[in-house]
Structure 1
Amino acid sequence: MAGLSLKCGDCGAHLRSVEEAQEHAELTSHSNFSESTEAVLNLVCGTCGKPCRSKTETDLHTKRTGHTDFVDRTEEEAKPIDLETPKAPAANSEEGGTSGSNEAQDMAVPEVDKKLLAELESMGFPTARATRALHYSGNTSLEAAVNWVVDHESDPDIDQMPMVPVNIKVEDAKPSLTPEEVKLKAQELRERARKKKEEEERRMEREREKERIRAGKELLEAKRIEEENERKRIVALRKAEKEEEKRAREKIRQRLEEDKAERRRKLGLPPEDPAASIKPATPTVHEKKSSLPVKPATKAERMRDCLRSLKQNHKDDDAKVKRAFQTLLTYVGNVAKNPDEEKFRKIRLNNPSFQERVGSLKGGIEFLELCGFEKIEGGEFLFLPRDKVDIAVLHSAGSELNSAIVNPFFGVL
């Protein structure tokens, strides 16, 4: 099948002839052209008669004018393309007669009103643009030509010279305007074009503002949803933490009950009756006093009570309490490992480090006294005599300190 157009390989534009391809190359610097069997579209507006060569042009024309009825005359106007570059006119009549049948001569620049063309050129329009405007506006008036230029100023071929078949004639031109009228008309048309452009810019700005408002609302909604999800996650996490703390407290309570039962067993006491715990604390007249002997609290229990009292007295500063426990553990451990070293068995009470860590906390010095330390030299020192070092007591003290440090609920229940 013969080629019906030339296709630009750089931008995809379809061109009717070699001349159009040359003009396209000069305007765009594109040089990759190939023959195509696809004809150049010729969609004519059924309302105003404007020809459009692509779907993009019809969309732009519809957007500018509102015209939507187009007649497809592509097949009617499609002709095989001549790939030969047209030759210049022959010098003599014989050569001119032999070249008259060239297909390239079937297309020519349309004839337009010379006066209207001159007036458009005097207004600053290029010749090709003015010719195209007069041709496609019907070559009727200066106002119609200027309006056409305003509507098609973004067309890619706005500055290409139009080509029409030689058998198409332009209607007789109407009388032109006087220079003064041309000047006033040009000023009026420019002002109209400026207002139209400003109105379009204002419309686009309103559209952009609507888009910004919509995007802002979507962003706020997304942020609100994210905050709501984060709040639900925190609530669920706190609930899980409370459940875990509740289970830990229950385990500790059970362990304390077991320890209490074990102590009663070691003391030779009968198991505690659960129903007895709900009876009034004060005995009634008919109740008899227990005749079972009750042993005094052991030293380990007194140490535990001392540490519990220390923590409760300073419950607002967990770091200070933990440091005091660790310092006491160091003192007790040093004596247990080196009972013969006097420096580990003697503590100056007014030592700043000792006062900060242990001495200033209620219960610290009492715990050391339970371990065997005694105040000497008018209360200036705490001293543990060598003969009073009881390794079992020191081990018991270390065990109680370790329990107080490791157990997060020590002193709470």
Structure 2
Amino acid sequence: MAGVSLKCGDCGALLKSVQEAQEHAELTSHSNFSESTEAVLNLVCTACGKPCRSKTDSDLHTKRTGHTEFVDKTLEAAKPISLEVPKVAMESEDTVDASSSNQAEEMVVPEVDKMLLEELEAMGFATARATRALHYSGNTSVEAAVNWVVEHENDPDIDQMPMVLANTKAEALKPSLTPEDVKLKAQELKERARKKKEEEEKRMEREREKERIRIGKELLEAKRIEEENERKRLLALRKAEKEEEKRAREKIRQKLEEDKAERRRRLGLPPEDPAAVKPSAPVVEEKKSMLPVRPATKAEQMRECLRSLKHNHKDDEAKVKRAFQTLLTYIGNVAKNPDEEKFRKIRLNNQTFQDRVGALKGGIEFLELSGFAKIEGGEFLLLPREKVDMAILNSAGSELNSAINNPFFGVL
């Protein structure tokens, strides 16, 4: 059987003609070729008609287009190979008139820019396809050649080497565009790049604006939640203050009832019938400030002492708050370090102590309620180690925290 292809002995590639073998040798420096009875594959895509000369080409075509059906027409296209370099006779359509129509000229492969050709081959394009793209795109740039390939990908002869008349071969390298056209093309590309950049900047600005709006909404929501929590906290404080006022009024009422019963007992009158008692709220309000209230527990005594301190110095809230914080510091130091005498002993004539606590009526009384006692002729306040009562210190700390944080403390 006659040979239908040339096989490269170095890499095993099958080539259709001597011309393809020469191109392969130039590209790879392979020189060992022999005739083969194995034909080059001709797999034609049933969807677009593109021919593929190997299984690799068909796989790449499937990956690019999604077409999977191919018809094997290898036997139809297989012809005995000619070992002569093909020369095609063709009439020049532009320069030959009707009288010279029988004159044949040699057809050759057009020359293209080798650097552009190497770039296209490095991108994965076959030599024939890259040469055809450069030739028909004006041999100007890689971008123009790639655009031409995309537009003519489905052409049946896209993988065939282009042929031109021998006398026009030198003209193939000349750009098809005039200098004025090149300038216009460059200006057009710059304008296109500028518009693209402007569109990208506008898009980024829209994204940034969306991000600013999102952050603004999050900040507003966080502020709303903070305000809501603050409102709830104030409501809770007011509720606690109302409960405290209610307990104070109830104690006053009980005290009035006890005093009234004591007076009736001293006068020898029988106890008053509870069903007939109709206490009047206004009377209680009038006598509230006149009747002494003596808390029954240590915590109540401390609260009353702090309330008295605030009432006695109501014109200077900053001084009152500083006194409360100083007392809290003394109590906290003892609670944290009960074995340290320096925290359990206070010099009364210390200027800082006098400015913050000693000069305020009720400050020393509060410390005495917490367990401190005067020693050495009233020069010092001392809380003996054996008399340190953590329950009393905790109660003192709780009352001081309430006095500092409750804006309605001591209103009554």
TM-score by length of 2: 0.48
